[in-house]
């Protein structure tokens, strides 16, 4: 391909790539993700990788010419981790989207990074299996992005986050060498766990080009409950009561009144008329309905209305309502999504703190939460042209972090640090941890060309 940029380092890389573009429309598309971040400039171009050899070639050129490279999956990230600016080249992996192999006996799948999360589950279902980490964005996010962010999701309440479901990885290092991490056995402790290190490294240590994923037997049955509450505090107390009842829901999702209103307006549903806060709870496996009975007894003192889903269709509609929370809010404006985690018995405290932040900063806060994990997504909606990295939106995000910290929690439960949360990183990790993490990054990427300015 030709570029008009002259013989800059990135132009040399782009010129030598089999599939690349410097078209403005493409550069705009890959300059940001779904975080609401407005990039100050556009990347120099984008390389579309179709195979491992093309990733290796790109990274060898990037190292030779010292061109910063931003790996990109499906661009659904919520921390601006895949955002890119002038002087950088985006490496788009969405075209490496084949499911290479499913082994129903060993219960694993070997996939390329651009495969969408939902596609893995559709393929696994044909064998009576499923892939557990299911972000609400399952239909639109890639496995490579899930691995890079250590994504969570609804079923993580019972089955754990991405790190618990990735057995091994093939990774292209910044200089083009190929590293294989992990193993294809369920157990194994040889050497340091580089697999775990790579998962959640936000594209800063290497580029995932193949993953072996752990599948699990699909639950024999699932029981679904929708519960409505007079306010979000009551819903939070009910969620804590479920945890205290020593049962293990497979899904426990909370939405507050303003979010229900947005979902109803966008999806034509009527949840808000039934209550000012909502809990979606599922139990699964052989004892699903026994667990459901215990769950209902735990929440009855707090709920104003409880419905058991009569059939799979009703259950799917309830799950869809939760999955549509962010897209429904995006219809109202630019959405800034926070991702704090708190101990699960502090849910009521965190909602009280969020209400205070809303009063102090003057911003409206919409709340959804993976309640079983204590992982909340307070969201702020600003005008489409308004920045989320300054003014009241930024101030509220900072206050949310300090609230989580006071309650013994964390800055990010599953979306990652990306570009948007680096301001508070040192305060959570401390100097020594951060120093060691920079040293590790330097071992993998001594020239600092992989996703600079992100994550740590
Ligand atoms: C409606 C909606 C709902 C969401 N719900 C959830 C949720 O429930 N749980 C959750 O965890 N997240 C959720 N997200 C956030 C997002 O979907 C996840 O972070 C997802 O893992 C990002 O995947 P992606 O393919 O879009 O990655 P991108 O946005 O393209 O990239 C994310 C990060 O991964 C890196 N990266 C991408 N591919 C690779 C690769 N092959 N090798 C190395 N690095 C790579 C990028 O550099 C970047 O740092 C949601 C997003 C939306 C829009």
Helical residues (DSSP H) of 193-273, grouped into ranges: 194-198, 232-244, 257-267
Task: Work out the percent of the chain whose per-residue pLDDT is above 70.
Answer: 98
User: Once rounded to an integer, what is the mean pLDDT over residues 73-95?
Assistant: 97
Say which CATH class 222-406 falls into.
Answer: alpha beta
> 7-24, pLDDT tens digit by residue?
589 999 999 998 999 999
Ligand 1 center–CA 379 separation, angstroms = 17
User: 387: which 2 tokens?
Assistant: 């920045």
The CATH number of the domain covering residues in 9-92? 3.30.43.10
Residue 106 has pLDDT above 50, yes or no: yes
The helix/strand/coil state of 227 is strand
In the structure, what pLDDT confidence band is assigned to residue 384 with cuts at 50, 70 and 90? Answer: confident
Atom of ligand 1 lying closest to residue 113 CA = 41
Compute the average pLDDT of residues 401-423. 96
User: Is the CB of residue 199 less than 8 Å from the CB of residue 162?
Assistant: yes
- For residue 269 the two structure tokens come to 């549903």
Q: Is the pLDDT of residue 4 over 70?
A: no
Please state, for a pLDDT cut of 90, what percent of the chain lies above it: 91
Q: Which of the following CATH numbers is that of domain 99-217: 3.20.20.70, 3.20.140.10, 3.40.50.300, 3.30.465.10?
A: 3.30.465.10
Question: What pLDDT, on a 0 to 100 scale, did the predictor assign at position 7?
Answer: 54
The two three-digit tokens of residue 96, written as one number: 């490496």
Q: Pinpoint the residues of the chain covered by CATH 3.30.43.10.
A: 9-92
Determine the Cα–Cα distance for residues 298 and 241; give it in Å rounded to an integer: 6
Strands 178-182 and 166-172, bridge-based pairing: antiparallel
Tokens of 58: 């790109």
- The residue nearest atom 35 of ligand 1, judged by CA position, is 203
Query: DSSP labels for 377-399?
Result: EEEEEE-TTS-SSSHHHHHHHHH
Between CA 384 and CA 331 the distance in angstroms is 10
How far does the centroid of ligand 1 lie from the alpha carbon of residue 61, in Å? 26
Query: How would you write 287-325 as a 3-class SS string?
Result: CHHHHHHHHHHHHCCCCCEEEECCCHHHHHHHHHHHHCH
pLDDT of 241: 95
Report how far apart, in Å, the C-alpha atoms of 354 and of each of 256, 333, 420 are.
Answer: 12, 20, 19
Q: Which tokens in the block code for residue 104?
A: 């129903």
Task: Report whether pLDDT(350) > 90.
Answer: yes
- CA-nearest residue, atom 18 of ligand 1: 77
pLDDT tens digits, 247-274: 999 999 999 999 999 999 999 999 999 9
By most ligand atoms within 8 Å of CB, the mutation choice from 47, 95, 111, 149 for ligand 1 is 149
Which of 114-128, 361-375, 382-396 bottoms out in mean pLDDT, i.e. has the lowest?
382-396
pLDDT tens string 299-341:
999 999 999 998 999 999 999 999 999 999 999 999 999 999 9
Q: Whose CA is nearest to atom 36 of ligand 1?
A: 145
Residues of the chain with CATH 3.40.462.10: 222-406
Q: For residue 287, how far is its CA from the centre of ligand 1 (angstroms)?
A: 33
pLDDT in tens, 59-81: 999 999 999 999 999 999 999 99
Q: How far is the CA of 319 from the centre of ligand 1 (A)?
A: 20
Q: Is it the case that residue 123 has pLDDT exceeding 80?
A: yes
For 176-235, write each residue's pLDDT tens digit.
999 999 999 888 899 999 999 999 999 999 999 999 999 999 999 999 999 999 999 999
Q: Mutate which of 29, 30, 113, 135 to test ligand 1's pocket (most atoms within 8 Å of Cβ)?
A: 135
CA of 4 from ligand 1 middle (Å) equals 32
* pLDDT at residue 3, as a whole number: 38
- Location of each CATH 3.30.465.10 domain in the chain: 99-217
Q: What is the pLDDT of residue 362?
A: 87
Which residues approach ligand 1 with their CB closer than 6 A? 33-34, 70-78, 81-82, 93, 113, 135-137, 141-142, 144-146, 148-149, 151-153, 202-203, 207-208, 326-327, 414-415, 451, 454
């Amino acid at each position: 391909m030709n570029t008009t940029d002259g013989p800059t380092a990135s132009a040399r890389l782009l010129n030598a790539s089999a599939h690349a573009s410097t078209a403005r429309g493409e550069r705009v598309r890959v300059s940001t993700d779904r975080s609401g971040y407005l990039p100050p400039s556009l990347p120099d171009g984008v390389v579309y990788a179709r195979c491992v050899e093309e990733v290796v070639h790109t990274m060898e050129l990037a190292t030779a010419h010292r061109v910063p490279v931003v790996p990109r999956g499906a661009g659904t990230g919520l921390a601006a981790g895949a955002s890119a600016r002038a002087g950088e080249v985006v490496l788009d992996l969405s075209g490496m989207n084949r499911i290479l192999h499913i082994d129903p006996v060993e219960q694993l799948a070997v996939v390329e990074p651009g495969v969408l999360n939902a596609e893995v589950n559709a393929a696994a279902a044909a064998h009576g299996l499923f892939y557990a980490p299911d972000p609400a964005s399952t239909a639109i996010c890639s496995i490579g992005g899930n691995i890079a962010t250590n994504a969570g999701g609804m079923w993580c309440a019972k089955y754990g986050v991405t790190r618990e479901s990735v057995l091994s990885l093939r990774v292209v290092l910044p200089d083009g060498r190929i590293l294989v991490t992990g193993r294809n056995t369920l157990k194994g402790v040889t050497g340091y766990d580089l697999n775990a290190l790579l998962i959640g490294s936000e594209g800063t240590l290497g580029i995932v080009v193949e993953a072996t994923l752990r599948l699990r037997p699909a639950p024999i049955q699932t029981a679904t409950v929708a519960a409505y509450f007079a306010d979000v505090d009551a819903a939070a107390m009910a969620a804590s009561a479920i945890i205290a009842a020593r049962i293990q829901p497979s899904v426990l999702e909370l939405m507050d009144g303003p979010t229900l209103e947005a979902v109803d307006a966008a999806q034509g549903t009527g949840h808000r008329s039934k209550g000012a806060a909502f809990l979606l709870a599922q139990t699964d496996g052989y004892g699903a309905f026994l667990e459901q009975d215990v769950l209902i007894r735990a929440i009855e003192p707090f709920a104003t209305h409880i419905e058991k889903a009569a059939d799979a269709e009703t259950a799917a509609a309830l799950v869809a309502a939760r999955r549509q929370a962010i897209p429904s809010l995006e219809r109202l404006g630019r959405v800034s999504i926070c991702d704090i985690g708190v101990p699960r018995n502090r849910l009521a405290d965190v909602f009280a703190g969020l209400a205070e932040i809303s009063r102090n900063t003057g911003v409206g806060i919409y709340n959804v939460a993976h309640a079983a994990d204590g992982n909340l997504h307070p969201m702020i909606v600003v005008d489409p042209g308004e920045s989320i990295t300054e003014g009241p939106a930024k101030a509220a995000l900072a206050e949310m972090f300090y609230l989580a910290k006071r309650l013994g929690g964390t800055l990010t439960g599953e979306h990652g640090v990306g570009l948007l949360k680096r301001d508070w990183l040192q305060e959570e990790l401390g100097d020594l941890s951060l120093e060691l993490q920079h040293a590790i990054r330097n071992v993998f990427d001594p020239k600092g060309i992989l996703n600079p300015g992100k994550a740590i």
